[in-house]
Structure 1
Amino acid sequence: MLESPDLQKYDISSLRGVVVSSYMISPEHKRRLQQIFPDTSNVYGSSESMVSMTSAIHSTEAQKTGSVGYPFPHMEVKVVGDQDEVLPIGKAGEVCSRGWFCFSSYYKDPEMTLKTKGMTGWVHSGDIGIMDNTGHIELIGRKDECVVFKHIGDKVYPSLIIDTANKHQAIKEAKVIGIEDSLIGHEVCLFVELHTGAELTKSELEEYFNEELLFLECPTKYFLIDVMPRVGARGKVNIQRLREIAIASMKE
């Protein structure tokens, strides 16, 4: 919507707000939306459950851009660790929810239902997030996309890299994946698609990240692709295809 060539062709002054749902967007894109639509709010959740929202009344400006909101009144939300233990405020873990809005089961798939909801009814989102002391949740990546440098024990989440990429004027979209490596734990691979007509070399991209982030926060591999591969009716980025591209490149 922000990139639409028709955005400036019409008088949209009467359209005050936009609700962004079921999609993780960067703080930079949220700021751009709020400049055009002042009452923009964010609703976070999946097809299985709607979890939280930002509010003009209950959220600060920083929380509107840096979080996906606080829990709905009818929802319970917790952040858990690898052993399903509830984590303290400010610690990263998987976001889980429970409430009447959550789905009852997958159609004719009890095995997948049990995997997602367990025996307690808590829906595991697969998203890694941090909750603050007001209940607002900051998303920092998908659980299966978080990569670990085993030689130093630190976790590198994709959100910092993606947010940094989105600040570059030439970059239209960015995606980060991790490829296992026997020496360092994972190769952190950044894929970027440029805006039409934009120019950016791989060395320029690497130099940009070295200036913006600490060494251990930077990707280890950079990929410039013409178009992000998509899959499914909703056009999600095809992570498996990105893995194939990265692995093939590393074998060359």
Structure 2
Amino acid sequence: MSGSNYRPWLNNYPKGVPHEIDLDQYPSILSLLESCFERFRHRPAFSNMGRTISYGELDTLSRQFAVFLVNELNCSKGDRIAMMMPNVLQYPIAICGALRAGMVVVNTNPMYTARELRHQLVDSGAKVIVVLDNFAETVASVNKDTPTEHVVTTGIGDMLSFPKSVITNFVVKHVKKMVPPYDIPGAVRFRDALRRGAGKPLPKPEVDAGDIAFLQYTGGTTGVAKGAMLTHRNMIANMQQASAWISSDMTEGEEVIVTALPLYHIFALTANCLTFMKIGGHNHLITNPRDMPGFVAELGKIRYTSLTGVNTLFNGLLNTPGFEKLDFSNLRMTLGGGMAVQRSVAERWKRVTGSTLAEAYGLTETSPAVCINPLDISEYNGSIGLPISSTDVTIQSDDGQILPVGETGELCVRGPQVMKGYWNRPEETAKIIDPQGWLHTGDIARMDEKGFFYIVDRKKDMILVSGFNVYPNEIEDVVACMPGILEVAAIGVPDPKSGEAVKLVIVKKDPSLTEEAIRAHCRTELTGYKQPKYIEFRDSLPKSNVGKILRRELREEQAKAG
């Protein structure tokens, strides 16, 4: 019953979801793209800031970019190309073009500091980087210290229609002053690259399923960022798994998805961009979702059927005036991932939108999806869902024993979406993938008798109070239910009596909320050792580029403060 062949989740799969997926339907992402371009040629593919490009236009533009890379920059199969942009139309064009040239895409956070960017360009050996003007100053500052030979620059408005393209770029640069001056000798403009690749044949590279498609960097919050080698097979597998999971709820060629998470994040890359391309979906790219009023205004113009995000994004929308007045009648799928979805946020989302916020779970190292909740669940269930097709998940003890139903241990994954390993880091790969092929996630979880999995917490975030394990997710969930709370993070701080004690860092929604009210609530909902010893109020919490609250930074601040 506790062995790795015990898969109770298969009995609870949504109707029509296969136990195994077809890994051979598409030998590479290239063959998938060609299929999409042909089947959905006249359908809208991507929209941004009022401009829409069809699958046929994406075919033409990405082909032009691929030809430029091969013919003009002499790029070869396997060469790495970095992408340093927010969600603009240039992004899918560049990704598709790079893959069609047989290159490896290195997704790069535009907010990187010079140190972080230098590390990623040197570590990946990127030959080319495509960068938005707003962030080109950072590239200029490190370019001489990296192996990067070619820089392609682009403006936010470059792919918009005339005269909006010119006006947008002028306003961004000269009115809003969002483009710091930079000097990159020999840099090529994106539109010039497309022109230079037009009308020429594209040599088709021989791409194998085992070839790397993406170097997706991760671990920057825990140390030196490592490049997860995601092969064409990994990515195709996850697209097949995800599309099989949503197939009964989605109609090919009819879906409209809002992409607010950045495409350089693995969640948006696989779930929104590639999976929805596979089913002929129409992607609305949101360039700056942190501008919540602007985001809500944009949502008011779109008849969308799907929305993905992280907990803080959904919470932000719910707390933005006007959101509750939007038309949610077409919204059939709301998917939360990247961090734990809080019950209070999920329940409020259901009340406001009528759509259940279904939680999913994955990692950069798994392309990313591992578990997804059935989309037909009537309400938030606190679970990360069931393992998707062709995926094994076990709960293991510290000594590698597979634990029975209901017991808590480390969540481990095995499946075709598990990465090839970390780029040039065999020792780091061996630490996370064992000889039996199990990827050890570092997440503490349990499985119920139906095969639903529940994340208890991250190993490293766990707080040890007098020998008792305290999981920040549980504390945060309890506190977030209070109406006066906007955001909350729980961390462990040193304590002479108990080893560690719980500290809450809170952003108020109600200015009149008091520390005593929070303590009273916690006394009602939490056993003694789980109750916060310290409470601190702040105007904001540190977050990652996708809005994930960074407990690590809070712990580091605490350590410095003594």
Question: Do these two structures clear the TM 0.5 threshold for a shared fold by scoring above it?
Answer: yes
The equivalent of 2:361 in structure 1 is: 44
User: Displacement of 1:164 after TM fit?
Assistant: 0.9
The superposition leaves residues 26-65 of structure 1 with CA deviations (integer Å, 9 ceiling, x where unpaired) of: 12222223331435432211111221111145x575xx42
The equivalent of 1:246 in structure 2 is: 558
The verdict on how the C-alpha distance between 1:60 and 1:116 changes in structure 2, with shifts beyond 3 A counting, is: farther
Instruction: Provide the rounded CA distance (Å) in 1 between the counterparts of 2:477 and 2:483.
Output: 12
Kindly indicate whether the alpha-carbon contact (under 8 Å) linking 2:490 and 2:551 is maintained by their aligned counterparts in 1. no
Tell me which structure has the larger Cα radius of gyration: 2
The superposition leaves residues 123-178 of structure 1 with CA deviations (integer Å, 9 ceiling, x where unpaired) of: 1222111100111011121111112223xx32121222111111111111111111
The verdict on how the C-alpha distance between 1:99 and 1:228 changes in structure 2, with shifts beyond 3 A counting, is: same
The verdict on how the C-alpha distance between 1:193 and 1:68 changes in structure 2, with shifts beyond 3 A counting, is: same
The superposition leaves residues 196-244 of structure 1 with CA deviations (integer Å, 9 ceiling, x where unpaired) of: x53323233223212332222212221211110234x334333333124
The equivalent of 2:311 in structure 1 is: none
Instruction: Provide the rounded CA distance (Å) in 1 between the counterparts of 2:356 and 2:554.
Output: 36
The equivalent of 1:54 in structure 2 is: 373
The verdict on how the C-alpha distance between 1:42 and 1:208 changes in structure 2, with shifts beyond 3 A counting, is: closer
The equivalent of 1:27 in structure 2 is: 343
Letter in 2 for 1:237: I
| Alignment counterpart, residue 491 of structure 2, candidates 161, 177, 182 | 177
Kindly indicate whether the alpha-carbon contact (under 8 Å) linking 1:17 and 1:37 is maintained by their aligned counterparts in 2. no
Kindly indicate whether the alpha-carbon contact (under 8 Å) linking 1:129 and 1:137 is maintained by their aligned counterparts in 2. yes
Secondary structure of 1:230 counterpart: coil
The equivalent of 1:221 in structure 2 is: 534
**1:7 lines up with 2:323 in the alignment:** yes
Give unpaired runs (5+ residues) of structure 2: 1-316
**1:200 lines up with 2:516 in the alignment:** no
Q: How many residue pairs are counted as aligned between the two chains?
A: 243
Counting only pairs closer than 5 Å after superposition, residues 1-252 of structure 1 correspond to structure 2 as 1-35=317-351, 36-49=353-366, 50-56=369-375, 61=379, 64-150=380-466, 153-195=467-509, 198-231=511-544, 233-247=545-559, 251=562
After superposition, the CA RMSD in angstroms is: 2.2
More helix by share: 2
User: Displacement of 1:182 after TM fit?
Assistant: 4.5
Instruction: Provide the rounded CA distance (Å) in 2 between the counterparts of 1:9 and 1:38.
Output: 15
The superposition leaves residues 75-94 of structure 1 with CA deviations (integer Å, 9 ceiling, x where unpaired) of: 10011122222111111111
Secondary structure of 1:186 counterpart: strand
Kindly indicate whether the alpha-carbon contact (under 8 Å) linking 1:16 and 1:37 is maintained by their aligned counterparts in 2. no
Secondary structure of 1:95 counterpart: strand
State the identity as a percent.
28
Kindly indicate whether the alpha-carbon contact (under 8 Å) linking 2:341 and 2:359 is maintained by their aligned counterparts in 1. no
More strand by share: 1
The verdict on how the C-alpha distance between 1:28 and 1:39 changes in structure 2, with shifts beyond 3 A counting, is: closer
Instruction: Provide the rounded CA distance (Å) in 1 between the counterparts of 2:482 and 2:540.
Output: 17
Secondary structure of 1:73 counterpart: coil
Letter in 2 for 1:205: I
TM-score, structure 1 normalization: 0.86
Instruction: Provide the rounded CA distance (Å) in 1 between the counterparts of 2:556 and 2:519.
Output: 21
Letter in 2 for 1:8: E
Give unpaired runs (5+ residues) of structure 1: none
